[in-house]
């Protein structure tokens, strides 16, 4: 039966695009190297119709599919299990920018298009596509949509969901839904687009999307400020909203230890101010008038912040290079943490007003449970999303720490998140890594509805089974 399926897949996409045997590690292993599965085959269709034909063939054979874009996810959501029976459906050949509509201010792009290429295509057409992630040079727009990716400009433009006006999707039965109209108003029943965005490939395969474009700002400025506490960072965020209004595009927070790791492992980046303050913030403004106007807004914001005592020091980038350098420091925190050793990551969201209290409580609980534990705390304060990561004590064994303490630490963190009415996944998704936590931290009514949707759209459980929801193994 397996050989018959492989022959049928080869007839659909061509023998060179059905990969089997050894050499599939880049497809079978997740980005963080937390898990490695084993696939029956990697299939690389070159068109939406080929995707549909592949899905239909797998559905007929009751063989499950794992959709995959750039494979840059952080929750083990786009790699196969260890059975050797699943097909990885790689979208990497679907890379076209199909159309830019300047009057509708939209771009229609295929799912395998790398995010940075989409940003460049928008820029070449005189527009801005604002989704921006650390992995933008390798992640794909299909993956961004399937996980509802966030990034650094959510405070102004929203998550991937808010940037999406329409989708083209292959259903679990191999049918093609064309919802690429790009309408901003379409009140004709259930919003199917929002079912598939954030579903992590468990309901269907996104093959293309129509995304919003924005005018290129006349000026974009970045400031770096030292703040005495998280409460002060929150106050500064409120002042930024008041002084910058819709021009505020990014507001990032970084604790002292996270910046010390960047300074330790990447000293050439020259991290400013970190030794003298417990927290630093990175603020970005996009202005449609002029750089002079933007700089004036920043200056008034910082003057107010200094007068209120919520900022101890600050610098405003004097050039595009300086701004890029400041953002590069922020984006290097995860890399520096990896250099320090294996760690336990959390992508959580908390109501912004409660973040300082949450951090105090979680820090205290973890320090009591594991003396000497270190906190790599940074993230998108502007939209309430923290990357609250835990590093082993200085003299601890990072591998043993991950192996022996991960479940305990996750329980402490997630239980605290729940008490503060937050979410255990803000922008990375659930995947396989957090699947078993969902029943405890999602309401029974919500889970019942999610299972009903899964059963209706994927009755044979062939679409990325074992991800997001606890479900039975896919039928063979």
Q: What is the mean pLDDT of residues 183-203?
A: 96
The CATH number of the structural domain formed by 2-93 is 3.30.43.10
pLDDT bucket at 170, cuts 50 / 70 / 90: very high
pLDDT at residue 1 above 90?
Answer: no
Q: What is the mean pLDDT of residues 274-292?
A: 94
pLDDT bucket at 332, cuts 50 / 70 / 90: very high
Q: How crowded is the C-beta side of 467, counted as CA atoms within 13 Å?
A: 31
Using a cut of 0.85, tell me whether the model's pTM lies above it. yes
Out of 3.10.290.20, 3.30.70.2740, 3.40.50.11540, 1.10.3720.10, select the CATH number for domain 341-419.
Answer: 3.30.70.2740
pLDDT at residue 122 above 60?
Answer: yes
Which pair of tokens denotes residue 326? 């400041």
- Residues making up the chain, counted from first to last: 476
Q: What is the mean pLDDT of residues 27-45?
A: 94
Tens of pLDDT, residues 397-452: 999 999 999 999 999 999 999 999 999 999 999 999 999 999 999 999 999 999 99
pLDDT bucket at 112, cuts 50 / 70 / 90: very high
Q: How many CB atoms lie within 10 A of CB 459?
A: 11
**Would 2-93 and 219-334 be classified into the same CATH topology?**
no
High-pLDDT (> 90) share of the chain, %: 93
Cβ 327 vs Cβ 237: under 8 Å: no
Q: What is the mean pLDDT of residues 215-237?
A: 96
Domain boundaries, the chain: 2-93, 97-215, 219-334, 341-419
pLDDT bucket at 100, cuts 50 / 70 / 90: very high
The β-bridge partners of 67 are 89
Q: b/e map of 100-123 (b: 16 or more CB within 10 Å)?
A: beeebbbbbbbbbbbbbbbbebbe
pLDDT at residue 197 above 90?
Answer: yes
Q: What is the mean pLDDT of residues 280-306?
A: 94
Strand ranges inside 218-373, DSSP E: 219-227, 248-255, 279-287, 313-316, 343-344, 347-349
Q: What is the mean pLDDT of residues 340-350?
A: 94
Cβ 156 vs Cβ 249: under 8 Å: yes
Q: What is the mean pLDDT of residues 11-18?
A: 98
pLDDT at residue 235 above 60?
Answer: yes
Cβ 85 vs Cβ 465: under 8 Å: no
> Which residues have a Cβ under 8 Å from the Cβ of 228 and sit 6 or more positions away?
277, 278, 279, 309, 310, 312
pLDDT bucket at 471, cuts 50 / 70 / 90: confident
pLDDT of the residue at 370 = 96
pLDDT bucket at 474, cuts 50 / 70 / 90: very low
Residue appearing with tokens 């679409």: 463
Q: What is the mean pLDDT of residues 293-316?
A: 95
Q: At what angle do helices 333-340 and 320-331 cross, to 10 degrees?
A: 40
Q: What is the mean pLDDT of residues 78-87?
A: 96
The β-bridge partners of 252 are 282
Which of these, 219, 173, 169, lies nearest to 192 by C-alpha position? 169
Residue appearing with tokens 């922008």: 427
97-215 has which fold?
Answer: 3.30.465
pLDDT of the residue at 475 = 43
Residue 242 CB burial class (10 angstroms; 0-12, 13-18, ≥19): exposed
High-pLDDT (> 70) share of the chain, %: 99
pLDDT at residue 473 above 60?
Answer: no
Residue 189 CB burial class (10 angstroms; 0-12, 13-18, ≥19): exposed
Instruction: Answer yes or no: CATH 3.30.70.2190 is held by domain 219-334.
Output: yes
Per the prediction, the chain carries an average pLDDT of: 95
Residue appearing with tokens 């059963």: 455
């Amino acid at each position: 039966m397996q050989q018959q399926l492989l022959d049928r897949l080869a007839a659909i996409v061509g023998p060179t695009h059905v990969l089997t045997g050894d050499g599939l590690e880049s497809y079978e292993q997740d980005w963080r190297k937390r898990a490695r599965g084993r696939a029956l085959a990697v299939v690389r269709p070159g068109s939406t119709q080929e995707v549909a034909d592949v899905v239909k063939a797998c559905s007929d054979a009751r063989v499950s599919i794992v959709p995959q874009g750039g494979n840059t996810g952080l929750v083990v959501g786009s790699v196969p299990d260890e059975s050797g029976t699943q097909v990885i459906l790689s979208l990497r050949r679907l890379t076209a920018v199909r159309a830019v509509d300047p009057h509708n201010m939209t771009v229609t792009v295929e799912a395998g298009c790398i995010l940075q290429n989409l940003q460049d295509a928008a820029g070449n057409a005189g527009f801005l596509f604002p989704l921006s992630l650390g992995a933008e040079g390798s992640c794909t727009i299909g993956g961004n949509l399937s996980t509802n990716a966030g990034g650094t400009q959510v405070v102004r433009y929203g998550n991937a969901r808010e940037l999406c006006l329409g989708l083209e999707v292959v259903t679990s039965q191999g049918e093609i839904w064309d919802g690429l109209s790009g309408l901003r108003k379409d009140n004709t029943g259930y919003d199917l687009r929002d079912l598939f965005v954030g579903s992590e490939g468990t309901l269907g395969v996104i093959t293309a999307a129509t995304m919003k474009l924005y005018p290129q700002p006349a000026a974009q400025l970045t400031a770096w400020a030292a703040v005495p506490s998280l409460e002060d960072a929150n106050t500064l965020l409120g002042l930024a909203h008041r002084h910058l209004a819709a021009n505020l595009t990014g507001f990032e927070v970084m604790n002292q230890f996270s910046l010390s790791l960047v300074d330790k492992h990447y000293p050439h980046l020259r991290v400013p101010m970190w030794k003298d303050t417990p927290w630093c913030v990175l603020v970005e403004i996009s202005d449609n008038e002029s750089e002079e106007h933007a700089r004036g807004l920043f200056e008034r914001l910082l003057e107010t912040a200094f007068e209120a005592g919520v900022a101890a020091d600050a610098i405003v980038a004097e050039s595009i290079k300086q701004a890029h350098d400041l953002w590069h420091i922020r984006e290097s925190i995860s890399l520096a943490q990896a250099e320090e050793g294996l760690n336990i990551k959390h992508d959580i969201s908390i109501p912004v007003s409660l973040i300082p209290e949450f951090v105090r409580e979680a820090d205290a609980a973890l320090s009591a449970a594991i003396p000497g534990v270190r906190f790599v705390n940074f993230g998108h304060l502007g939209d309430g999303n923290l990357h609250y990561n835990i590093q082993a004590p200085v003299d601890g064994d990072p591998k043993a720490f991950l192996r022996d303490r991960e479940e305990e630490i996750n329980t402490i963190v997630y239980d605290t998140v729940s008490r503060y009415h937050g979410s255990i996944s803000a922008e990375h998704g659930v995947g396989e890594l957090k699947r078993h936590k969902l029943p405890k931290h999602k309401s029974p009514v919500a889970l019942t509805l999610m299972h009903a949707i899964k059963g209706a759209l994927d009755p044979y459980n062939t679409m990325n089974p074992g991800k997001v929801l606890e479900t039975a193994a896919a039928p063979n």
